[in-house]
Each structure stands twice: as structure tokens, then as C-alpha cells.
Amino acid sequence: MDSTNMQLTDTHCNSNQSGFTLLEVLIALLVLSIGLLGLAALQTTGLRSNQMASMRTLATQFTYDITDRMRSNPVGVANGEYVVARTTTPSSSIAPWTGGTHALTDLTEWRANIANRLPEGTSEIALCDTTTAPACAEVTHIVTVYWNESRRDTSGLPATFNCPPLTSQDFRCFRLVYSE
């Protein structure tokens, strides 16, 4: 046999590789875990947004509820029985000599619903005057509902009620102007 015609064969080159290496498996697990973490973050954000939208919907419903009650009692509105500050109870804001039991019932039920359904929910109804916006051409009352949208712990901190909110620490609000 001629040594020049002899072919050299490498037995290692002819073997087929099968399966994954450990490094490929680890990289696939890393990519999968990052994707699952992103999915979990997306789900959490969606739930939080849904809850905030639910609170805003409730606040809207509550403001329309009290304005409907005010429309059903024009005498009480004309007597100023529906004006209540955020820090006072409805009973102390209605003069007993005007016979405002209808307005007192409306405000008491309204405030109880807000307190029970919105986190740290509170409200106020103010008369429109020259210092409030919008201008008081046809507007008689301004109804505002406040709530703690982030549900952060506010114990020991002064609650801030700016509408619209000025900082992330402010309670969220919904304001509706009422005109007869």
C-alpha cells in the first residue's frame, strides 16, 4: 500500500453531536425566567390600573348620585342645605329650622357610601363663589369626592386634599359642578 494514497481518517470527526449542552439549557432558562417576570409585572400593572379605574368610577357614580338627589330637592338646594365641608358632618351643616331632613338623609347616606366604598373616602359640597373655578355664571355648587388611590399608609402624615392633585402624596379627587 502506498502511503501517499492512504487517507487519514479521524474517528472523532464522524461522530454526530446530539442533545443540548448545559450552557444552552441555562441560557434558555434565563430567557424564560426574564419573560415570566415581565409577564408578572404586566399582570400586576393591569390589576392596579383596573383597581384605580374602579375607584374613579365609584367616585363618579357618587357625585352623580348626590347631584340627582339635589335635583329632587330644589327647595333644600335653594336653602343651602346641601353645603357640607369635608371636615364637618352633615348634621352640623344643616340648619334645623329649615326643615332639612330630606337633605340630611341624602348627605348622611351619601357620605356613608363614600366612606364604605372608597379607601379613606371623604367629600365636600361647596357653594360656588368668586374664588372658585369655574366661574359661577350658572354653577351653584361644586361637589368633590376624595380618596386614597394608592392606599398608602397615611397615619401620622397630614392628608393633602388638592383637586386636581398637585403631588403623588395628594388624595385623588373627582369634581363635578352642579347647576340648577
Is the pLDDT at 78 greater than 50? The verdict is yes
Q: pLDDT of 50-60, one tens digit each? A: 888 998 999 99
Is the pLDDT at 86 greater than 60? The verdict is yes
Domain spans of the chain? 55-178
Q: What are the residue ranges of helices labelled H in 12-140?
A: 22-71, 74-78, 90-93, 101-117
Q: pLDDT of 98-124, one tens digit each? A: 555 788 889 999 999 999 999 888 899
Distances (CA, A) of 105 to 72, 76, 81, 90, 122: 13, 12, 11, 9, 17
Q: pLDDT of 29-65, one tens digit each? A: 999 999 999 999 999 989 888 888 998 999 999 999 9
What is the structure's pLDDT at 18? 66
Closest by CA to 146, choosing from 117, 112, 122, is 122
